[in-house]
């Protein structure tokens, strides 16, 4: 179902000039408004009460306005002067509409945040309203601009030093951004920052720089990956020995590692698993039982390397058990089977308390007092000093988890490109056809389950030590739903997407504490809205995007792959 189109191509062509002018006025207002006071109280966000001195948040608004201004001016005055070959390098109009939408959301968030934090809309001072009005003007005006076809900057070949410089700059920028965002305590500022980043990224992608970045960095893929890993590695050194942000970061990493494992099962093999958290739980319980905790029913306490392997193997045995029905069951039924399995796991863990069954897991109290890890004499529970910076407990686990996530990513990427990965995709697309082509359907499905479960089990074994205690109620259905949501939200079958999805889903509740009560409500709504409007996720793999928008010819033309049955294109609307 499509929304009715108010702005048609016809209207765009006729009123494009007016739209440009309106948007220009909006952009100028957006640039000017930050110099006016936005709120009557200095407790709202980051003190936006001064005339002539913008606060950091106001500067973000200014930056959006300035970007819009640049887009508009470049489209009108720069493009006609360029040689014809360079005119299509940037999609200025498309970028302008993206940044104007972002600015509107940004200003709306600011107004709402001020109203909430100071108690009422009366606390928004005239500057805030002017900025909002400017954003509205910019938004309305940019709707009338004729969007360009795709930008061609991606085809331009750039020198190596430039590409590597850009990679370094992007990575450094994201490190500083993450460190800054995590330090932000004010929920309003945090959301505004998030909106700003979203708007900036969309602008960069839409204007054509995204295409350039992905096509140019493809040559330097190892450099990019190494840089990303370096940034992640450097993060604890920005924290001055503080545990607070590191504990959030470790939770994000555990969650991300598990979600990446689930992504193998759901994203690559297309098998919907609603009980995946049970594998994490299996690994955690095995590690807890073998940890030497006083509450463990088993006395044996092997070194952690052995424990990790046992955790992974036990989890993958569970994976094989749950995967074996996949020979006979598919689609919705498989989802329900896995859900039932997840529930059975949790109930059995509760029941194995020595009362209702043999004593193994200490029942619903779980296993507390799990000792910290000690690998090769390195005690994970103690702070260490590295490079002159104190590395606290959670940062130790952070490094270990980083290695784990790196491992999962390597496994994922290699599987994706291998014969196995292609087999999975074939099964996902059409099981019968795949079988006819000689793909070992049953074996590959089982391998997806067992492999995904192994990774989750390994993550679980680290989680047990990280959390200190393991209880069955950490592994409820809702957690499986969260994992699935991370995969779906980020983009099924992609690495970056799932990392982004996992980070958002774990970071948001931590930063938006005031929102805690409504967290699940928003989560439910998010799933519904996401499936309705962007089922392929924030960062979509191209194949998925086409799958979910089979009748969208515009997209097919965009990506250069024709969807089935879309041979004939409308003469006008097919851009």
Binding site for other proteins (CB under 8 A): 1, 270, 272, 274, 325, 328-333, 335-337, 339-341, 343-344, 347-348, 350-351, 355-358, 428, 430-431, 477-478, 481, 484-485, 488, 517-518, 520-521, 523-528, 530-532, 535, 547-548
> Phi and psi of 391, rounded to 5°?
-110, 105
d(CA 60, CA 102): 11
> What minimum distance in Å lies between the beta carbon of 10 and other proteins?
27
Dist. CA 328–CA 466, nearest whole Å: 38
Alpha helices, DSSP H, located in 382-518:
393-417, 419-429, 431-436, 441-467, 477-490, 495-511
Query: Nearest approach, Cβ of 293 to other proteins (angstroms)?
Result: 24
> For residue 374, what is the enclosing H or E element?
strand 374-375
For the bound state, the minimum distance from the C-beta of residue 497 to other proteins, rounded and expressed in Å, comes to 15
User: For residues 162 and 478, which CB has a smaller minimum distance to other proteins in the complex?
Assistant: 478
d(CA 300, CA 85): 71
Backbone angles phi, psi at 354, to 5 degrees: 90, -10
Q: Closest distance between other proteins and the C-beta of residue 380, in Å?
A: 35
Pairing of strands 389-391, 378-379: unpaired
CA 561, CA 559: separation in Å to the nearest integer? Answer: 6
What three-state secondary structure class fits 563?
coil
CB of 450 to other proteins, least distance (A): 18
**Would you say 342 and 311 are in contact if contact means Cβ atoms under 8 Å apart?**
no
Type and span of the H or E element at 521: helix 519-533
Tell me which H or E stretch contains 170: helix 160-183
Smallest distance from the beta carbon of 481 to other proteins, in angstroms?
5
Q: Which residues of 346-356 are buried (b: 16+ CB within 10 A; e: fewer)?
A: beebbbbbeee
Number of other residues whose CB lies within 10 A of the CB of residue 128: 26
> Least Å distance between CB 287 and other proteins?
24
How far the first Cα of the chain sits from its last, in Å, is 19
Q: How far is the CB of 412 from other proteins (least distance, A)?
A: 19
Our CB check for other proteins shows the closer of 186 and 343 to be 343
Contact 391, 241 (CB under 8 A): yes
> 358 or 443, CB closer to other proteins?
358
When the beta carbons of 11 and 543 are compared against other proteins, the nearer one is: 543
Query: Which is closer to other proteins, CB of 30 or CB of 322?
Result: 322
Minimum Å gap between C-beta 186 and other proteins is 24
422 vs 549, beta carbon nearer other proteins? 549
- Give the residue from 31, 50, 24 showing the smallest Cα distance to 39: 50
| Residue 551 beta carbon to other proteins: minimum distance, rounded to whole angstroms | 8
Cα distance between residue 461 and residue 465, in whole Å: 7
H/E run at residue 389: strand 389-391
Q: Is 243 within 8 Å of 393 (Cβ atoms)?
A: yes
Choice between 248 and 481, CB closer to other proteins = 481
Nearer to other proteins, 476 or 539 (CB): 476
To other proteins, the closest distance from the beta carbon of 541 in angstroms equals: 14
Compute the distance between CA of residue 81 and CA of residue 419 in angstroms, rounded to an integer.
50
Residue closer to other proteins (CB basis): 260 or 334: 334
> How far out from the chain centre does Cα 89 lie?
29
Select 225 or 527, whichever has its Cβ closest to other proteins: 527
Closer residue to other proteins (CB): 72 or 278: 278
Residue that is written with structure tokens 């640049």 in the block: 70
Q: Tally the C-alpha atoms within 13 A of residue 247's C-alpha that lie toward its C-beta.
A: 10
Per the listing, tokens 């607070």 go with 244
Q: Is residue 228 within 8 Å of 134, Cβ to Cβ?
A: no
List the one residue out of 136, 108, 116, 125 whose CA is nearest residue 29.
136
State which residue, 166 or 527, has the beta carbon closest to other proteins: 527
For other proteins, the closer CB: 134 or 491: 491
What Rg, from alpha-carbon coordinates, does the chain have? 26
Rounded to whole angstroms, the Cα distance separating 412 from 258 reads 12
Query: Which residue has tokens 């209702």?
Result: 356
Least Å distance, CB 335 to other proteins, is 6
Query: Given the complex with other proteins, which of 162 and 344 has the nearer CB atom?
Result: 344
The minimum distance between CB 74 and other proteins, in angstroms, equals 38
Smallest distance from other proteins to CB 377, Å: 43
């Amino acid at each position: 179902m499509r929304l009715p189109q108010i702005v048609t191509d016809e209207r765009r062509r006729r009123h494009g000039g007016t739209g440009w002018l309106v948007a220009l006025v909006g952009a100028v207002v957006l640039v000017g408004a930050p110099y006016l006071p936005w709120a009557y109280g200095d407790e709202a966000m980051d003190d936006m009460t001064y005339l002539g001195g913008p606060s950091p948040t106001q500067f973000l608004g200014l930056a959006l306005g300035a970007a819009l201004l640049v887009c508009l001016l470049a489209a009108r005055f720069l493009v006609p002067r360029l040689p014809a070959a360079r005119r299509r390098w940037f999609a200025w109009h498309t970028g302008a509409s993206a940044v104007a939408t972002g600015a509107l959301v940004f200003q709306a968030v600011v107004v709402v945040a001020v109203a909430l934090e100071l108690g009422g809309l009366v606390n928004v001072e005239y500057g805030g309203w002017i900025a909002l009005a400017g954003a509205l003007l910019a938004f309305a005006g940019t709707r009338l601009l004729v969007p360009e076809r795709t930008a061609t900057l991606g085809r331009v070949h750039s020198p190596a030093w430039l590409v590597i410089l850009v990679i370094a700059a992007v990575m450094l920028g994201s490190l500083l951004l993450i460190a800054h965002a995590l330090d932000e305590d004010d929920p309003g500022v945090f959301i505004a920052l998030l909106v700003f980043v979203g708007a900036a990224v969309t602008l960069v992608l839409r204007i054509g720089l995204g295409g350039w970045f992905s096509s140019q960095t493809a040559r330097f893929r190892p450099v990019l990956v190494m840089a990303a890993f370096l940034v992640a590695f450097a993060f604890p050194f920005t924290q001055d020995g503080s545990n607070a942000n590191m504990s959030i970061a470790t939770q994000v990493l555990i969650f991300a590692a598990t979600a990446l494992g689930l992504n193998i099962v759901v994203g690559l093999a297309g098998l919907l698993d609603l009980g995946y958290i049970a594998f994490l739980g299996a690994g955690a319980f095995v590690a807890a039982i073998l940890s030497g905790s006083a509450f463990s029913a088993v006395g044996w306490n092997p070194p952690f390397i052995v424990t990790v392997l046992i955790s992974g193997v036990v989890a993958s045995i569970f994976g094989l058990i749950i995967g074996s029905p996949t020979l006979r069951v598919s689609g919705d039924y498989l989802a329900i089977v896995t859900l039932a399995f997840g529930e059975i796991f949790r109930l059995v863990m509760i029941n194995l308390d020595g009362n209702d069954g043999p004593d193994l897991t200490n029942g619903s109290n779980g296993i507390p007092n799990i000792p910290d890890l000690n690998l090769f004499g390195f005690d994970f529970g103690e702070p260490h000093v590295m490079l002159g910076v104190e590395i606290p407990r959670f940062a130790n686990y952070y490094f270990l988890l980083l290695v784990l996530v790196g491992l999962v990513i390597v496994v994922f990427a290699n599987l994706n490109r291998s014969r196995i990965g292609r087999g999975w995709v074939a099964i996902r697309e059409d099981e019968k056809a795949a079988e006819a082509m000689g793909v070992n359907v049953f074996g590959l499905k089982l391998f997806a389950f067992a492999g995904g479960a192994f990774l989750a089990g390994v993550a679980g074994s680290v989680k047990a030590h990280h959390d200190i205690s393991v209880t069955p109620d950490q592994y409820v259905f809702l957690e499986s739903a969260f994992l699935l949501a991370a995969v779906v939200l980020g983009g099924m079958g992609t690495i970056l997407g799932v990392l982004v999805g996992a980070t958002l889903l774990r970071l948001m509740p931590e930063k938006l504490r005031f929102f805690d009560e409504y967290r699940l409500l928003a989560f439910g709504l998010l799933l519904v809205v996401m499936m309705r409007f962007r089922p392929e996720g924030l960062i979509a793999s191209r194949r998925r995007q086409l799958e979910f928008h089979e009748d969208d010819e515009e997209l097919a033309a965009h990506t250069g792959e024709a969807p089935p049955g879309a041979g004939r294109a409308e003469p006008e609307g097919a851009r």
